[in-house]
Amino acid sequence: MSRERHIIILALLALLPITALAESPTAAALSYTCAGCHGTDGSSVGPSSPSIAGMDPEIFIDAMQDYKVDKRNATIMNRIAKAYSDEQIKGMAWYFAKQKLELLPQSTDTQLVELGTTLHDKYCEKCHEEGGRSGDTGTLAGQWMPYLDYAMEDFIAGRRDYPRKMKRKVDAAIKAEGEQAMPALIHYYGSQHNSAQKEASHE
């Protein structure tokens, strides 16, 4: 094939989405509409809706798919997730994965953070590596603390399915430290915004 013909064909292919796939907005356009609650490009300024910038795309997709079928406890996300096709969810997942996570400091209790550090090292660190930085088990480091609190309440009350092994670890942490355990862990993760920010985004 000549270079010219090659270029022309590619150019025509590039135009195709305008006509053939006119139904779907771009991943960026879809992702922009999330900013009113999750912040510009997914970095929430709080106080409770979670940041989704730099999120692992698979975690994003799983969350949206669970919301879509009312499998995960929600206030509003189940209603919103139902609007999107699998392809659109995938597109948004990659859009947010590529955004830099910008975190703001939160006020934490020093004693709780100290206890949380111990608990994290003992029960959580194997999966939530490096202080719970963004990875294939979600973003805990620097995440908004009320959101972490809601998530843990939902796990413990059986409103959200635990990922593999997590229930055993949570039960053990609570057995060891009682009612202090969850606040301690939440304060620990809430205090980790600096370490989380050092992390490079998914490129």
Residues 6+ apart with CB under 8 A from 175: none
Cβ-contact 159, 80 below 8 angstroms: no
Residue 99 CB: number of other CB atoms within 10 A?
Answer: 20
Q: Which is nearer to other proteins, 58 or 153 (CB)?
A: 153
The CA-to-CA distance between both ends of the chain, in Å, stands at 34
**x/- binding map, residues 144-183, to other proteins, per CB under 8 A?**
x-x---x--x------------------------------
Site residues for other proteins, window 8-47 (CB under 8 A)?
A: 8, 10-12, 14-15, 18, 22-26, 29-30, 32-40, 44-47
Q: How many residues bind other proteins (CB under 8 A)?
A: 44
Cβ-contact 31, 42 below 8 angstroms: yes
Please report whether residue 69 would count as binding other proteins according to CB under 8 A. Answer: no
Dihedral angle, C-alpha 28, 30, 64, 55, nearest 10 °: 20
Residues that bind other proteins (CB under 8 A): 3, 6-8, 10-12, 14-15, 18, 22-26, 29-30, 32-40, 44-49, 75-76, 79-84, 144, 146, 150, 153
